[in-house]
Amino acid sequence: MRDDKRFQFPREGKNVCGRLTLPTPFALLNSLVMKTALLFSGQGAQYVGMGQDLYLKSPEARTLYEEADALLQNGFSTVCFEGPEETLTDTSYCQPALYVHGLALFAALKKERPDFSFQACAGLSLGEFTAHTVAGTFSFAEGLKLVAARGRLMQEACRATEGGMLTLIGASREQAEALASQSGLQVANYNCPGQIVLSGAKSLVPNAVEQGKALGLKRCLPLNVAGAYHSRLMQPAQDALAPLILAAPLQTPSVPVFSNVTGQVASDVATVRDTLTRQVTGSVRWEECVEGLISSGCSRLIELGPGRVLAGMVKRINKDVPCLSAGNLEELQALLPQL
């Protein structure tokens, strides 16, 4: 296996190979007038074939996929590019796939725009690990090990329990929390205004749908998922992941990274370890993360991941702040003139 130091993602001010770069006058001027935040995708955005164009046309991205294949030893790239879909959807494959894909997009971006800089980042659920990697909190390999373990442990928890999830469309926070309390479910995701997700025992979901209708909610939609993510049913996964996160070599993030469980910046190593651990069973406060990025002065958000899912949420949270998206090489190249 190659020396892992070569493939560590840089702390701000270095390119993807770790060499110091000097900003052009234009890039320096642009950085003074616009703060940029990077956003990374969570589980559910994946699709078969994702990342193959990057692998074929970007040497920097190919290096990451090759490193992932060598580390995971499970046919990782083949599943990403060729499927089958049910294997890629398995949490143990899906989470590493989205992690590597996000970082492959970032590596290709930095190759094309060495002077590109960002001032903050965030990721939805597992995307928070991707965000920490680009912020230099841990190396590509260390982050991949944690994400692979997280996915495997969560998949085991799914198989050991009968979990389900329910999307509430048009519900306020107060209504969602009232329904969670009445039904015995938990709030899994505060995604954006009008979109909140509940999670818990699958047997409780049908009754929760009826209770939601009684509360006057517009739509209560059961989700076709393998388990109850971000609920107490994931506690065994969280307990097993905790010592791995505690033992992993971490550094203070080079830029602010917003935590899913608090909606605030995780600014030191101890807080990062704590919040990444609690995230497995805790509510994802994505709306608060985006509001925090904007409040901190970020006036441009860039989603690196498939499907424009996060851009859609950002538009619901604050329509006045643009969120650009790139989920493949063609979209990334179309984005470059705007950077």
Nearest to 148 by CA among 227, 226, 245: 245
Note if the pTM is more than 0.75.
yes
**Residue 263 identity (one-letter amino acid):** G
For the chain, the domains span: 33-159+232-338, 162-223
Alpha-carbon separation of residue 130 from 95, 97, 102, 252 (angstroms): 10, 11, 7, 15
Residues annotated as catalytic are 125, 230
- The per-type count for the chain, helices as H runs and strands as E runs, is 15, 8
pLDDT tens per residue across span 124-162: 999 999 999 999 999 999 999 999 999 999 999 999 999
Alpha-carbon separation of residue 26 from 30, 113, 175, 274 (angstroms): 6, 12, 48, 39
pLDDT tens per residue across span 31-73: 455 899 999 999 989 999 999 999 999 999 999 999 999 999 9
pLDDT tens per residue across span 179-233: 999 999 999 999 999 999 999 999 999 999 999 988 888 899 999 898 999 999 9
Domains 33-159+232-338 and 162-223 share a fold: no
Q: Are strands 186-192 and 195-201 parallel, antiparallel or unpaired?
A: antiparallel
Q: How many residues does the chain have?
A: 339
What's domain 33-159+232-338's superfamily in CATH?
Malonyl-Coenzyme A Acyl Carrier Protein, domain 2 (3.40.366.10)
> Of 1.25.10.10, 3.30.70.250, 1.20.1250.20, 3.90.1530.30, which CATH number belongs to 162-223?
3.30.70.250
